[in-house]
Amino acid sequence: MSLRSNVFYNKRLMLLMVSITASSALLLSACNDSNTQADTEAVEAVADLSVFEGCYTVSHDEPAQIKVSQQDGAWVMQMKEPASAKRVWDDAEPLEVLENSDIPKFFSIDPDNVDAVIGRPDRVLVLAHIKPVYANIDPLLDSEYLSYIYRGANTIYRVECDEVNTDILANPHANIIIDNVGTDS
């Protein structure tokens, strides 16, 4: 082979190698991007519902009122019964995972700050777990848990489960006398 044809051959070989390398890189990066996107969507689709397992109350100084647990592979909730019921917890009601797009129907929080939402099929009760990082910086949140209970949303508190009946039907305000302020009687 002449020197001129050898240089021509090497240039063509180099061009072919660069083309193959560039094509391979594009192909691999495209595959990698789609896999990463699919992996991200799969992680978002499967929320860690174990953050809900436990008991909750509406105030730090009250006993547990709601219990969330997993029974036979399904998530359920139970409410405390009064002593007259002869049992501590009522029958288990099913819970289901809600989509993040449903969050604005129940809570005034950016769905990006919520990592799991679960609720009864009738949506009388919906629980949301706030990402701990966000709960720590939002001055309006003093708990990582939000509850929506029949048209009202508020924070709730995770407490130790107990097996003591609570009379949740009692009126805690029955003996309070409210005087009119600023009247001369």
The pLDDT tens digits for 86-136 are: 899 999 999 999 999 999 999 999 999 999 999 999 999 999 999 999 999
**Token match 């950016």: residue?**
110
pTM, two decimals, is 0.65
Which pLDDT value is given to residue 166? 74
Domain ranges of the chain: 49-159
Q: What is the band of 11 on the pLDDT scale with cuts at 50, 70, 90?
A: low
Start-end of H helices in 108-184: 132-137
